[in-house]
């Protein structure tokens, strides 16, 4: 079997950017009786399978993917996690 | 300051459930020259702030939130992470 890496990328709205979807989830949870819920923010998670085993190279590539396609860096930030 | 917990919930499609959005991202990345990208799956991440400091209670509550509102457990699975 050829080697491969699994990566998880989180795309979330930057602090200060309004998140109406998160707010709606928060309100719905409060309405369902979950009174302890405060602020809620929603984002995306993308799980990728990458061929190769060079973690450093993979991280560089993932950063480029986020900048070019996955995140809108004007309003979104990203975190990369290699497993 | 009153105590609060931060939680992160991942909602992802179950294995075997078709994920056209993930497929589209994978194709786009391949087209942009990222040839090492294999399978891609997309999901949601929800960051919540919970009042209180009892981690066990928070986990039980988060599980109930996922079952009742956040995830469609027919096709989606969820993971809970407390920070």
Q: Higher pLDDT residue, A57 or A2?
A: A57
pLDDT at A2: 67
Residue B1 pLDDT exceeds 60: no
CB B77 within 8 A of CB B9: no
Ordered by start, the domain boundaries in chain B are 4-82
Question: pLDDT digit string (tens) for B7-57?
Answer: 999 999 999 999 999 999 999 999 999 999 999 999 999 999 999 999 999
* Fold of the domain built from segment(s) A4-82: Mth169; Chain: A , (3.30.1280)
Q: Are A40 and B22 inside 8 Å of each other by CB?
A: no
Tokens read off for A73 = 């860096």
Chain B residues with CB-CB distance to A69 below 8 A = 25, 28-29, 32
The secondary structure of chain A in percent helix, strand, coil, rounded to multiples of 5, reads 35, 40, 30
pLDDT at B35: 95
Question: pLDDT digit string (tens) for A14-36?
Answer: 999 999 999 999 999 999 999 99
pLDDT at B2: 67
Q: Are B46 and A44 inside 8 Å of each other by CB?
A: no
pLDDT at B83: 86
pLDDT at A83: 86
| pTM beyond 0.80 | yes
Among all residues of chain B, which has the CA nearest to that of A62?
Answer: B34
Phi, psi of B28 (to 5 degrees): -65, -40
- Please give the full DSSP string across B6-50, using - where no structure is assigned: EEEEEEEEPTTS--HHHHHHHHHHHHTT-TTEEEEEEEEEEEEEE
Alpha carbon of B73: minimum distance to chain A alpha carbons (Å): 17
């Amino acid at each position: 079997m050829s080697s491969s890496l699994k990566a998880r990328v989180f795309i979330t709205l930057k602090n200060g950017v309004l998140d109406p979807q998160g707010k709606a989830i928060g309100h719905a949870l409060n309405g369902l009786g979950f009174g302890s819920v405060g602020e809620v923010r929603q984002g995306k998670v993308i799980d990728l399978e990458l061929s190769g085993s060079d973690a450093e190279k993979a991280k560089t590539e993932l950063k480029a993917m986020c900048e070019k396609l996955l995140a809108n860096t004007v309003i979104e930030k990203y975190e990369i996690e290699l497993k």
